[in-house]
Structure 1
Amino acid sequence: MSGQGSNWLKGMVTIHIRGGQPEQLVNRALAGGLQLSSIRWTSSGLLECELSISDFFGLRPYLKETGCRVHVTKRKGLPFLLVKAERRKLFAAGIVLFFAIIFMLSSLVWSIEVQGNVKLTEDQIRAAAKEEGLYPMQWSFRLTDADVLSKQLVRKLPGSTWVGVEKKGTKVIIQVVESTIPDKASLNTPRHLVASDDAVVTEIIAEAGRPVVRKNTKVKKDQILISGTIGGEMNSRTVVAKGNVRGLVWYEFEISSPLVQQVKVYTGDKETKWFAVIGSRALQLSGYGDSAFGKSESIKHEEKVSWRNWSLPIGRMKETIMETRMEDRTLTEEEAKNVGILQAKAKLLLKTGSDAVIRDEIVLHEKADNGKVYMKVLFEVEQSIVKEMPLVHMQGE
């Protein structure tokens, strides 16, 4: 143990020596085997030094010989801490209880996170883990060794090739690797790929079958794009046509956009509530009672107790409730027009699919009447234009 640590355990005092012969006191004490340190003269002309409690009581004979008196100015070390703790028993007990609770909370499994599962459901994995003694609020020391637990979970989870169990603080992560089974090829009947809408072809890629249209060709709905019949007249056969054909399709929208719209604004008034968080539960500490706001929004911010890589399942949460109100906002005709077109585009892309691209828009008609802007807009959209048609329907060709 270091010298400072040993001195702290024994207890040290700092003293001022008054009257008599201070130098003689120090010399005789050192010669008698007492350990005095940090010896110096203070600005008030007193000799100051530091020594242990046992050496302090050993000074008595030397004080009589030299006619000196001592005054203790500082006390430090474990003995003095124990005296204070004895005087404040409830405070000391509270500190001990606090650290005991922290230790107990950190020894529990508070949450289980499942990763990597695709076919296996999270409920299946959690149920298998529970059978092996792994579940929230379980003591960490009661858990089976991670390697053994991993092997047991692999046996209980059909379709898994490896299961990893890792404990991070109060959280356990279950990593699942599932076995890969190739998908069975679907049994498709011979087919054509035909146009789903009237369009102008912008791209055609035939993976199987015979393309019968070219780029920049105008096609009608249900017209064959990639034929499932290949070969000559004397040596033809049917296949499952595959490929991708994109084209320009036109959509006409009638739009009405109001010149006065309601928007949500914040008034600036807010209320704050504080909660103590333990695991997944929150205990309200302040801000009781119903909110005085008619309309409001709340924002929650949670802070957990953490130290380095450890995160304990206890902390606090602040909930800020902000008052809102609806206000009328008057738009210009141009602003109302832009809002209406944006809403129409959102509906159009929802209808045509995520791979669709709006290439152009043409306003065919526009007028303002009764507080609204009315428009007729033509949108040009590049999208996939293929749909399947079984060859059994094409026998009359």
Structure 2
Amino acid sequence: MKIPTLTHLRGYVVILITKGNIESFINALTQSGIHVWDVSPSRSNTAEMKVLLKDFHDLRPLLKRTGCRVHVKNRIGIPFQLVRLKQRKFFAVGIITFFMLLFLLSSLIWDVKVVGNVTIATEDILEAAQKEGIRPFQWTYRLKHLDKLSKELNMKLPGTSWVGVDKKGTSITIHIVEASEPEPKPLVSPRHLVSKSDAVITNIYAEQGRPLVAKNIRVKKGQILISGLLGDEANSQAVVAKGDVKGLVWHEYNIQVPIVQKHKVYTGDTRNRKYLVLGNRGIQFWGYGKVPYEKYDIVEEQDPLTWRSLKLPVGWMTEKVMETEITSETITGEEAKKQGLEGAIRDIFAKYGNDSKVISQKILHEKKENGKVYMKVLFEVEETITEEQTIVYNQGE
């Protein structure tokens, strides 16, 4: 038979007909105009079929006439779901309350960020934005149009050439483009460039000032390399000496490296703690109890709820508690020696600049004692050796 329309909305039941004259019962259904469908015999002298909820009670006289009996196997459709929901009132109220809270929370501003500002203080921008109603826990429907907010903030914030207000979900971002102003040149006093250490000159470039040394000359710490005084004693002029001087400098390092080295590794055993996040608060739902590890690391994973392009202030957070342990590794004396030298070279680059160059290294003393390798190493390094020295005039001059 033809299936009626909107069966799920109207509700229907799956029934099993037993005993009596089933063939006469089906013929009686056809004559009475009661819609049944998916009629199928289950076993001898039984038949299964579907009938609309509104027609179910009309089956009684037909069943009595044909001597059949009916057994309801399943109830399907919205009418039955509403009945079940009515029986669980607290559950229904909880669902409605949850979606109402979700709607209210998504209608609030939870976060206000400022990006692009360099010289203008973030606090000043947030204060001006607050006067325009842009603040956390503000209802979104109470905000002015974003274009209007941008114009008003631009007028209230001196030093900005453009201000943009962008709203995504429950977050507002204020974009700042500061007005470009010529950078004031720093006032620099006349100065010399002097050597900051004993060295042998390898290269000298004087952009401004008078060079007093040449290549392959040995200089002492504090010696003037490029003078800021031009001319002679009768006619002299003080300028800001500029330039670059490189020289060979010797650095002595006392290095010690342990033979047995300890490292932190993950064992692979983890425990999870789950939280329901509401705004900036979390309610723990899973993973109670003391952490069973002596040593461990914790990694957080955020999983906020989203609706289309909106990021809602509700979601889940998982804390992964990962067990760690300390392992020991024994290295050879040569490996320890290599590690110590590499560490010293990294320290040289960090202290004296990445443009420095290690020319040579000489191990002055080496020994293995108390589970460590000890070395005294002399490094020959080509580096920039200049530092500034202000020219001081005598009182009588």
TM-score, normalised with respect to structure 2: 0.77
Amino acid at match of 2:27: Q
Please give the per-residue CA displacement for 1:154-198, whole angstroms capped at 9, x wherever unaligned: 334332222222222232222222222221112223444343334
Which secondary structure does the structure 1 equivalent of 2:133 belong to? Answer: coil
* Amino acid in the other structure paired with 2:348: L
**Are 2:4 and 2:35, in contact at CA under 8 Å, matched by a contact in 1?**
no
Residues 198-232 of structure 1: CA deviation (Å, up to 9, x unaligned): 44556655554566767x64452455555556799
- Is residue 315 from structure 1 mapped to residue 311 from structure 2 by the alignment? no
Could you tell me how far apart the structure 1 residues matched to 2:348 and 2:274 are?
Answer: 45
Question: Using a 3 Å threshold, how does the CA distance of structure 1 residues 266 and 58 change in structure 2: closer, same or farther?
Answer: closer
Q: 1:337 to 1:61 in 2, by over 3 A?
A: same
Aligned counterparts of 2:153 and 2:374: Cα–Cα separation in 1: 63
Using the alignment, how far apart are the partners of 1:283 and 1:80 within structure 2? 35
- Give per-residue Cα distances to partners, 1:373-394, cap 9 Å, x unaligned: 3322122334332223445579
Q: Structure 1 length as normaliser, TM-score?
A: 0.77
Q: Which residue of 2 aligns with 1:41?
A: 40
1:76, distance to aligned residue in structure 2 (A):
2.3
Answer yes or no: is the 8 Å Cα contact 1:198–1:220 preserved in 2.
Answer: yes
Distance 1:218 1:42, change over 3 A: farther
1:373 and 1:94, CA in 2 relative to 1: closer, same or farther beyond 3 A?
same
Q: What is the DSSP-based 3-state SS (H/G/I as helix, E as strand, rest coil) of the residue aligned with 1:103?
A: helix
| 1:111-153 deviation line (CA, Å, top 9, x unaligned) | 2332212122333333333333323333333333322322333
> What residue is the counterpart of 1:178 in the other structure?
178
Question: How far apart, CA to CA, are the structure 1 residues paired with 2:5 and 2:105?
Answer: 31
Which deviates more, 187-196 or 164-173? 187-196
CA distance 1:359–1:134, shift in 2 (3 Å): farther
Structure 1 residue 24 corresponds to structure 2 residue 27: yes
SS in 1 for 2:177: strand
Could you report, residue by residue, the CA deviation over 1:48-99 in whole angstroms, capped at 9, with x for unpaired residues?
5545333445566766777766554433222111011011222222222222
| Contact kept in structure 1, 2:270 and 2:322, CA below 8 Å | yes
Question: Which range moved further: 59-68 or 362-371?
Answer: 59-68
- Equivalence for 2:152: 152
What does 1:5-84 correspond to in 2, within 5 Å?
6-16=6-16, 19-21=22-24, 24-25=27-28, 27-29=30-32, 32=33, 36=36, 38-42=37-41, 44=43, 49-57=49-57, 71-84=71-84
CA contact (8 A) 2:274 2:316 kept: no
Which residue is equivalent to 1:333? 333
Q: Residues 270 and 323 of structure 1 are in contact (CA less than 8 Å); yes or no, is this contact kept in structure 2?
A: no
Please give the alpha-carbon distance, in whole angstroms, between the structure 2 residues aligned to 1:87 and 1:116. 57
Map of 2:168 onto structure 1: 168
Describe the shift of the 1:321–1:281 C-alpha distance in structure 2 as closer, same or farther (beyond 3 A). farther
Residues 365, 377 of structure 1: 8 Å contact kept: yes
Deviation sequence 1:14-72 (CA, Å, 0-9, x none): 4455614255345435xx4x655x54434537665545333445566766777766554
Give the whole-Å Cα distance in 2 for the aligned partners of 1:355 and 1:107.
Answer: 55
Counterparts of residues 98-247 of structure 1 (less than 5 Å): 98-199=98-199, 207-209=207-209, 217-218=216-217, 220-221=219-220, 222=222, 225-226=225-226, 228=228, 239-247=239-247
Q: Residues 331 and 67 (structure 1 numbering): CA distance in 2 closer, same or farther, change over 3 Å?
A: closer
> Which residue number in structure 2 is paired with residue 380 of structure 1?
380
Q: How many residues align?
A: 385
Q: Distance in 1 between matches of 2:228 and 2:14?
A: 102
Q: Is the 8 A contact 1:195 1:219 kept in 2?
A: no
